[in-house]
Amino acid sequence: MKRNPRAAFVAFLSVQLLLSIGSAQAGPAPGQAGIASAHPLATQAGYEMLAAGGNAFDAAIAVSAVLGVVEPYSSGLGGGAFWLLHLADEQRDVFVDAREVAPGAATPDMYLDADGVPVPGASFNGPLAAGIPGQAAGLAHLAEHYGRLPLAQLFAPAIRIAEEGFPVHRRLLLGLGFRRKTADRWPAFGAVYYPDGEIPEIGDTLRQPDLARTLRRLVSQGIGDFYTGELARLLVEGNRAGGGIWSLEDFAAYRVIEREPIGFFYRGVRIISAPLPSSGGIVIANTLNILDGYELDAVDSVTRKHLIIEAMRRAYRDRAEFLADGDFVDVPVARLLDKTYAAGQRTSIRIDRATPSDMLADIEPATGEGAHTTHFSVLDADGNRVAGTMTINSWYGSAFMAPGTGLLLNNEMDDFAVKPKVPNSFDLIGSVANAVAPGKRPLSSMSPTFLESGRGIAILGTPGGSRIISMVLLASLEWMRGGSAEEMVSLRRYHHQYLPDELSYETGALTDEEVAALEARGHNVRESRRPFGNMNVVTWDFGSGKVETATDPRAKIEGRVY
């Protein structure tokens, strides 16, 4: 009988899981839970739900809704989300895909002029840049299938904060600086975020009455209103009046998809991460499979970094060539996850020399994806978990608000490949596989991830565009070396994404000596002026029973942020 490789792999995973985490505990010590998010008000809303008898999934809904209010530049009902769930009762992981989809009238050349040249900003600014939002449907899906509390209770903190306002913080202002020019073109956006035409001051109270009304409406009418009711009409009319191509049919057709996560083992640690249409899980698996051939802890720090960079280079190269929405194109997922494939990739790595990216097999490149996004992690006292990463793509998404809704529309269409050989604003390239098509989901890098071993569990993720994947990878390696949640979020980060062929690093990630040694091996090293990411981690240590939460020091709401 022919062996089914997928079934064999699943069986392998199950046995490995039992071996690696032994008698997995049902949950942390009684009363212990952990939530880490990018804003204290969101974290607080999550804890309120747990205190009210809700589970991790209820907490995740409340956290998601509040983040859309207090970080309107990162995520919201006008965008999309991935939530990776662990159901403790069933010992099962589920990936909830609420990614935006391209509207039915989208075409592969919709962002090109008559000469086939990309129109600057067309996939980035305004209504034409927006995919059909999935977050609202995703929250409804979580509430209906996994939560315990009613939507009125779950949305109450978000409604209250949208109505009563919250103190303006520095991150909010930096995004407004970035969006100043585009705001003038779309008055509904400017009216909320630039009161009296000015950027507000830190500590001012920001109220979002239209957003509060929309949230209230979803509670009273049900989330169906977003896709087939009055809200759908307002969104479509607003989008079209601004020059977009959305239709009511697009909204009626939107579906949340439950997918099987990517699961694999690296040196006794089980890693569960995002499947297509995210590139995250596949790229992390491929990178670690390549690294599995080396004793990373036995080599000097320069060689360790060199090997990690060379593995990233190869995995990101394959991302560029192959990865896209697997419901639309044939992606060789099994090959990319195969350890033998990784062994082949390893043969081209030299310990003493960087491989110039143009010496790897060429691809038919196109564009990639952007960076304004948010991540949170939740663990409840029963051991249920959520790693949620949500986005409207770049700062304030498309900077277009559908009038009367308070909802900022995403610019996720920029995550598609608008034209071969044209890198996007984050220098990421892709292939024709990721071309625009009606109903297709743009390739993402969002990588909500769980790590499981005999030591315990980590729940992690971060915003950061193409760097999300390398950040999750470095934090995972840190945890595998015994690092704490705090060490995972504080770790200085470096990154290579194949093209551009450069090793970028945050100040402090490499010493001067390491820079010199990596340059001597042929790496093109560049220090980045900006910190990378905003990671939020929850860990649970089986030995001590301790649950630890950690938020990224780079982006404290009070204090220095980028």
Contact 277, 326 (CB under 8 A): yes
Give dist(CA 52, CA 46) in Å, integer. Answer: 10
Q: Is 551 among the residues known to form the active site?
A: no
Least CB distance from residue 425 to ligand GLY, whole Å?
A: 11
Which range, of 25-33, 239-247, 329-337, 365-373, touches ligand GLY by CB under 6 A?
Answer: 365-373
Min dist CB 188 to ligand GLY, Å, is 22
Give me the least distance between CB of 400 and ligand GLY, in Å please: 16
411 binds ligand GLY (CB under 6 A): no
Q: Which stretch binds ligand GLY (CB under 6 A): 199-207, 249-257, 367-375, 416-424?
A: 367-375
Our CB check for ligand GLY shows the closer of 81 and 510 to be 81
**Which CB atom, from 375 or from 523, has the smaller least distance to ligand GLY?**
375
The 424-453 contact track toward ligand GLY, x by CB under 6 A, reads --------------------xxx-------
- CB-wise, 472 or 538, nearer to ligand GLY? 472
Dihedral over Cα of 5, 6, 10, 11: its sign: negative
Question: According to the binding rule CB under 6 A, does residue 135 interact with ligand GLY?
Answer: no
Q: Of the two residues 48 and 552, which places its CB atom closer to ligand GLY in the complex?
A: 552
Distances (CA, A) of 339 to 167, 412, 477, 504: 50, 32, 18, 27
Residue (132 or 232) nearer to ligand GLY, CB: 132
Question: Binding residue for ligand GLY (CB under 6 A) from 250, 369, 514, 548?
Answer: 369
Between 215 and 285, whose beta carbon lies closer to ligand GLY? 285
Using rule CB under 6 A, residue 391 touches ligand GLY: yes
Q: How far is CA 426 from CA 79, 207, 445, in A?
A: 19, 31, 12
Tell me the residue number closest to ligand GLY, measured at CB.
444
Distance, CA of 396 to CA of 192 (rounded, Å)? 12
Catalytic: which of 373, 462, 549, 551? 373
Work out how close the CB of 211 gets to ligand GLY at its nearest, in angstroms, rounded to a whole number. Answer: 21
Q: Could you say whether residue 415 binds ligand GLY (CB under 6 A)?
A: yes
Bond prior to 103 in cis (omega within 30° of 0): no
Shortest reach from residue 150's CB to ligand GLY, in Å? 30
- Distance from C-alpha of 46 to C-alpha of 70, rounded to nearest angstrom: 14
Kindly report the backbone phi and psi dihedral angles of residue 57, in degrees, each rounded to the nearest multiple of 5, phi listed first.
Answer: -75, -35
In angstroms, the Cα distances linking 345 to 293, 330, 508 are: 11, 21, 30
Rounded to an integer, what distance in angstroms lies between the CA atom of residue 182 and that of residue 395?
11
* Token pair of 448 as six digits: 């909500």
**Positions in 93-132 near ligand GLY (CB under 6 A):** none
374 lies in the binding site for ligand GLY (CB under 6 A): no
How many other CB atoms are found less than 10 A from the CB of residue 419?
Answer: 18
Q: Are strands 385-393 and 80-87 parallel, antiparallel or unpaired?
A: antiparallel
Q: How far is the CB of 365 from ligand GLY (least distance, A)?
A: 17
Return d(Cα 88, Cα 32) in angstroms, integer.
15
**Are 60 and 68 a contacting pair, CB within 8 Å?**
no
Asked whether 280 and 274 are in contact (CB, 8 A), the reply is yes
Quick note: the x/- pattern for ligand GLY over 458-477, rule CB under 6 A, is: -------x------------
User: Contact at 8 Å (CB) between 195 and 187?
Assistant: no
Whether the Cβ atoms of residue 46 and residue 378 lie closer than 8 Å to each other:
yes
Provide, rounded to whole angstroms, the least separation between the CB of residue 319 and ligand GLY. 11
Interacting residues with ligand GLY (CB under 6 A) = 369-370, 373, 391, 393, 412, 415, 444-446, 465
Residues marked as catalytic: 373
